[in-house]
Every structure is written in C-alpha cells, then in structure tokens.
Amino acid sequence: MQFYLKYQKEILRGVGIFLLISGFVIHFWVRPQKAVSANAIAAANVARMEASVAGGSATKKATKKPEVSHISKALKETRAKQIRYLTIFTMIFGALFLGYSFLKKEESFE
C-alpha cells in the first residue's frame, strides 16, 4: 500500500496513457474498415471478364453466393458495436486516469 501511495501519480499516468494508446490502436488499427478489399475487386473484375467472354449465351452459369443467415449477420453487427463501445470506454477511462493524475492532491495533517 505504501508503494501505491508513494507512486500514485506515476501509476495513474501510466495506466491512463496505456488505456488511451490501446483505445486508439483498437479503434484505428484492429477494427476492420468498411471498404472493398483488393481480392473482392479482383474477383469482380474476373467475373466481369468471364461474362464478357461468354457473351449472351443461353447456357450461362450463374454464380450464387451462399446466403448469410440472420443470426450470423446479427452476431457480426453486435460484435462491431461491442468493439466500438470498448474503444470509446477505453479512451474515456484513459483520459480520466490521466486527468486525475494531474490534479493536486490535498495534504492530510496526520
């Protein structure tokens, strides 16, 4: 307990900086972005070229994507919301710890 009381400001600053950095890393690096990947663009280009080569033939093969169930779609949306809330709370707690470490502590008369 004496160690914590002696180094309270340094501990709170360290925890605050750690939480802020981890919040930013999770938010900007770990969380997937809503963009089309290079593989998806390449697959679309290949499908377009195959369609143009095949022309308007009657025996055209239709590629069918497997349908994503409602449960897995809801699960992915819920996970994305949880990650977003985790990053928000992490950054808020980091800022609070860091801000609290800079407050002047009142001296007790013991």
Residue 107 lies in a domain: no
What pLDDT shows up at residue 58? 46
- Copy the structure tokens of residue 82: 């949880």
Residue 108 lies in a domain: no
Residue 89 has pLDDT above 70, yes or no: yes
Residue 92 has pLDDT above 90, yes or no: yes
Residue 68 lies in a domain: yes
Q: pLDDT (tens digit, 9 = 90+) per residue, 22-62?
A: 988 888 877 666 666 777 778 888 888 888 887 755 455 55
What pLDDT shows up at residue 84? 87
Residue 37 lies in a domain: yes
DSSP H helices, the chain, are 2-6, 8-25, 38-54, 70-101
What pLDDT shows up at residue 35? 66
Q: pLDDT (tens digit, 9 = 90+) per residue, 3-18?
A: 888 888 898 899 999 9
What pLDDT shows up at residue 57? 54
Residue 41 lies in a domain: yes
Question: Domain limits at 63?
Answer: 2-101
- Number of domains observed in the structure of the chain: 1
Residue 110 lies in a domain: no
What pLDDT shows up at residue 14? 92
Average pLDDT estimate for 93-110: 78
Look at residue 99 and give its three-state secondary structure. Answer: helix
